[in-house]
């Protein structure tokens, strides 16, 4: 009788599970704090490796920091992220100086993606209603960036956005909604300027 009753009880989600499911979660949860501390330690090591000779060392740190990577991954220091483990990048990835990825949700970046300096990719968000927001719990929405994408300098990619293959986003753009494949898009908010013949 007790066993049957126990089976009927749904297991309560951890704050990490809530975060990755796009539900309200408490960022001050001890498991999440521990994960962020791990990322800070690896970022310190990554950002100290500043010469061309340090590239191989940086690749090793990125392999430990990121959830998955291709073989050819270059991130110029300084670089910052929340967890690292929710970032998944493909082959031939390049990210220039002073970029930020807030990876409270999964960030998928395809093959041969180039990011200019100061690119910011934000999965993190908060409730729009102030009375909910001030309670503290946060939200996150996954981001997907396709293959052969170029994000110009200073581009901001907002939570929940998908950018299609072969697309270029102009410098300084704020990407607030999905952008299709094979286009040049720019502006704030970012919008399609023209189609690029693949």
Flag whether 102 is in a domain: yes
Average pLDDT over residues 11-15: 94
For tokens 């299709």, the residue is 180
Q: What is the pLDDT of residues 118-129, one digit of tens each?
A: 999 999 999 999
What is the count of structural domains for the chain?
Answer: 1
What is the structure's pLDDT at 1?
Answer: 46
What is the structure's pLDDT at 59?
Answer: 87
Verify whether residue 148 is a known catalytic residue.
no
**Confidence check: pLDDT of 77 > 50:** yes
Flag whether 8 is in a domain: no
Average pLDDT over residues 139-155: 98
- Give 192's pLDDT tier (boundaries 50, 70, 90): very high
Compute the distance between CA of residue 163 and CA of residue 116 in angstroms, rounded to an integer: 16
**Confidence check: pLDDT of 10 > 80:** no
Say how far residue 135 (Cα) sits from the centre of its chain: 25
Return the structure tokens found at 47.
């950002």
What is the structure's pLDDT at 153?
Answer: 98
Neighbouring CB atoms inside 10 A of 123's CB total 27
40: Cβ contacts below 8 Å, ≥ 6 apart: none
Domain membership of residue 96 as a residue range: 15-193
Q: What is the pLDDT of residues 95-120, one digit of tens each?
A: 999 999 999 999 999 999 999 999 99
- Mean residue pLDDT of the chain comes to 93
Residue 79, domain CATH: 2.160.10.10
Neighbouring CB atoms inside 10 A of 71's CB total 9
What is the structure's pLDDT at 54?
Answer: 73
Q: What percent of the chain has pLDDT over 90?
A: 87
Q: Which one is catalytic: 126, 141, 144, 191?
A: 126
Average pLDDT over residues 135-161: 97
What is the structure's pLDDT at 7?
Answer: 60
Q: What is the pLDDT of residues 29-74, one digit of tens each?
A: 999 999 999 999 999 999 997 777 777 888 899 999 999 999 899 9
**Confidence check: pLDDT of 80 > 50:** yes
Flag whether 2 is in a domain: no
Flag whether 174 is in a domain: yes
Pairing of strands 124-125, 93-95: unpaired
Flag whether 123 is in a domain: yes
What is the structure's pLDDT at 3?
Answer: 53
């Amino acid at each position: 009788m007790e066993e049957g009753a126990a089976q009927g009880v749904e297991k309560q989600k951890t704050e990490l599970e809530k975060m990755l499911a796009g539900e309200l979660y408490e960022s001050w949860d001890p498991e999440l704090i521990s994960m962020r501390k791990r990322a800070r330690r690896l970022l310190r090591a990554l950002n100290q490796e500043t010469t061309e000779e340090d590239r191989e060392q940086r690749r090793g740190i990125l392999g430990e920091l990121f959830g998955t990577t291709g073989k050819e991954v270059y991130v110029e220091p300084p670089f910052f992220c929340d967890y690292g483990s929710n970032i998944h990048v493909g082959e031939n990835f390049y990210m220039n100086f002073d970029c930020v990825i807030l990876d409270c949700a999964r960030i998928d970046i395809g093959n041969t993606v180039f990011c200019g300096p100061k690119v910011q990719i934000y999965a993190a968000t908060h409730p729009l209603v102030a009375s909910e927001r001030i309670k503290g719990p946060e939200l996150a929405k996954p981001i997907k960036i396709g293959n052969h994408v170029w994000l110009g300098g200073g581009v901001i990619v907002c939570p929940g956005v998908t950018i299609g293959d072969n697309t270029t986003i102009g410098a300084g753009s704020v990407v607030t909604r999905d952008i299709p494949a094979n286009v040049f898009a720019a502006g704030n908010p970012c919008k399609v300027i023209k189609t690029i013949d693949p």
